[in-house]
């Protein structure tokens, strides 16, 4: 059974509040010693300037190594400085190279400080990986670097294990008032950019559709070359926007679920495809709520089912849909209990603290451009034209996630809809 100690009073390191637990105090103390020793040693190196190039030339070490050292000692906070420093082997390489240019006392002091710091890192935190993880609680910028590096490793590992990867997963939702003016129709645009199989035997699942008994109306497919009564056997590709030749998908039925998988077994960069599709949920969300309705927050979610470098979520709302409502990004772990609903207290345990944020895009289709999907504006305009919607009356919000986590739910939630003035039911 693990033991915990009661935290002491908080103190501040470089403007960041840090709990003064014994471990943190000890790490800060030995970190300060190492920081001071390396700063003193560097001042003795007879370089013409304190640039990475000049220091690297003087010590005959790699410029990147010299740059990391200088970047660290120019940082006021010792914890932030240690997070930027080269690790043990890199620092020892610098100390060996500096022996002929600085005093023996400076070398001895730096080696002793490095040894003391290493001992704390390995005994208290289990090694440098543990130190990096602990830094994420103390330094926000260290957390960002730590998470990005580890999510990139997870992406590479899962891509190799699953045998598939994509550069971009696109999920764009367009909310537009229906004919009654009481509910929204929702157009869902899905895309995978530069999708490719890494192993011939890998099954590349594009999507899975299950009839929902809760949906006000059946799912409507936007298919240009397939009759609506046959749409259930086809994935609703936007063929004019997919790569050429258009990817071939196979429908595999498992119970009441239809799974769409990429046909064939081609591998390699030349086999990469772009897949875009769209469908419509009629009356998917209420525009208003009745006075007796609970203040439920409308939301739209995206999950990641295959390794992707970037997840792009766009939600585009007609100007009359929840004007003035503030969106909030929520992230849930759904690998145990599935999709979460914002505001459900039983799912607070599954909340994940997201580093990403929501970016307002402004109003009008031209504001919805995105570099990773060059024809995104055209796709939105095409879908809106097919539905008779005016894309210039949309306002947009975007979330961009680098190396999104598998089995994570990224959710954009809005304030509860306003109460309709005449008291009409919103359901």
What 3-state class would DSSP assign to 253?
strand
The alpha-carbon radius of gyration of the chain (Å, integer) is 27
Tell me which range, 167-176, 218-227, 245-254, is most confidently predicted by mean pLDDT: 167-176
Please enumerate in sequence order all residues whose Cβ is within 8 A of that of 258, keeping only pairs 6 or more positions apart, or say none: 208, 209, 210, 232, 233, 251, 252
Lookup: tokens for 250: 């196979």
Distance CA 56, CA 36 (A): 20
Residue 354 has a pLDDT of: 75
Q: For residue 296, what pLDDT is reported?
A: 79
Q: Return the C-alpha torsion angle 74, 75, 79, 84, nearest 10.
A: -70
Quote the CA–CA distance of 357 and 363 in Å, as a whole number: 19
Handedness of CA 289, 295, 300, 301 (dihedral sign): negative
Q: What is the pLDDT of residues 125-157, one digit of tens each?
A: 888 777 777 766 666 666 677 777 788 888 899
CB distance 331 to 409 below 8 Å: yes
The pLDDT assigned to 10 comes to: 37
Please provide residue 420's backbone torsions phi and psi, each rounded to the nearest 5 degrees.
Answer: -70, 135
Average pLDDT over residues 14-21: 44
Q: Would you say the pTM of this structure is higher than 0.75? A: no
342-362 pLDDT, tens digit per residue, is 878 888 888 887 778 899 999
- What are the structural domains of the chain? 12-127 (no CATH), 163-413 (2.60.40)
For residue 120, with 0-12 CB atoms within 10 Å meaning exposed, 13-18 middle and 19 or more buried, which class applies? middle
pLDDT at 62: 87
Would you say residue 223 has pLDDT above 60?
no
The pLDDT > 90 percentage for the chain reads 33
CB of 136 closer than 8 Å to CB of 143? yes
**What 3-state DSSP class applies to 292?**
coil
At residue 14, the pLDDT reads 36
b/e sequence 372-393, b meaning 16+ C-beta within 10 Å: bbebbbebbbbbbeebebebeb
Q: For the residues 94-120, what does the mean pLDDT come to?
A: 90
């Amino acid at each position: 059974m693990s033991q915990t100690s009661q935290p002491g009073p908080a103190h501040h390191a470089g403007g960041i509040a840090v709990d003064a637990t014994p471990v943190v105090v000890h790490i800060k103390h030995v970190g300060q010693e190492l920081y001071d020793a390396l700063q003193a040693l560097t001042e003795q190196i007879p370089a013409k300037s304190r640039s990475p190039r000049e220091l690297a030339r003087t010590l005959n070490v790699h410029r990147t190594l010299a740059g990391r050292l200088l970047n660290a000692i120019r940082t006021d906070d010792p914890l932030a400085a240690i997070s930027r420093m080269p690790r043990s082997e890199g620092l020892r390489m610098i100390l060996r190279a500096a022996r002929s240019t600085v005093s023996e006392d400076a070398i001895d002091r730096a080696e002793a400080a490095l040894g003391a710091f290493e001992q704390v890192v390995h005994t208290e935190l289990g090694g440098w990986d543990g130190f990096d993880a602990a830094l994420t609680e103390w330094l926000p910028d260290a957390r960002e670097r730590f998470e990005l590096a580890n999510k990139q490793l997870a992406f590479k590992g899962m891509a190799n294990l699953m045998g598939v990867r994509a550069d971009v997963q696109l999920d764009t939702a367009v909310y537009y008032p229906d004919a009654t003016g009481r509910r929204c129709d929702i157009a869902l645009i899905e895309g995978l950019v530069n999708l490719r199989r890494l192993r011939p035997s890998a099954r590349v699942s594009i999507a899975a559709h299950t009839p929902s008994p809760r949906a006000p109306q059946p799912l409507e497919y936007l298919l240009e070359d397939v009759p609506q009564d046959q749409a259930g056997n086809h994935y609703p590709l936007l063929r004019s926007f997919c790569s050429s030749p258009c990817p071939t998908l196979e429908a595999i039925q498992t119970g009441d679920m239809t799974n769409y998988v990429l046909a064939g077994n081609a591998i390699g960069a030349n086999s990469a495809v772009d897949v875009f599709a769209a469908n419509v949920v009629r009356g998917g969300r209420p525009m208003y709520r009745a006075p007796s309705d609970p203040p439920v927050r409308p939301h739209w979610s995206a999950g990641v089912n295959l390794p992707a470098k970037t997840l792009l979520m766009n939600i585009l709302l007609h100007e009359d849909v929840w004007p003035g409502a503030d969106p909030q990004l929520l992230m849930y772990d759904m690998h145990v209990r599935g999709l979460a609903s914002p505001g459900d207290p039983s799912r607070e345990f599954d909340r994940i603290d997201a580093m990403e944020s929501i970016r307002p895009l402004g109003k009008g289709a031209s504001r919805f451009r995105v570099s990773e999907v060059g024809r995104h504006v055209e796709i939105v305009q095409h879908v809106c034209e097919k539905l008779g919607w005016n894309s210039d009356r949309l306002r947009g919000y975007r979330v961009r996630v680098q190396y999104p986590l598998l089995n994570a739910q990224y959710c954009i939630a809005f304030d509860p809809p306003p109460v309709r003035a005449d008291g009409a039911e919103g359901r």
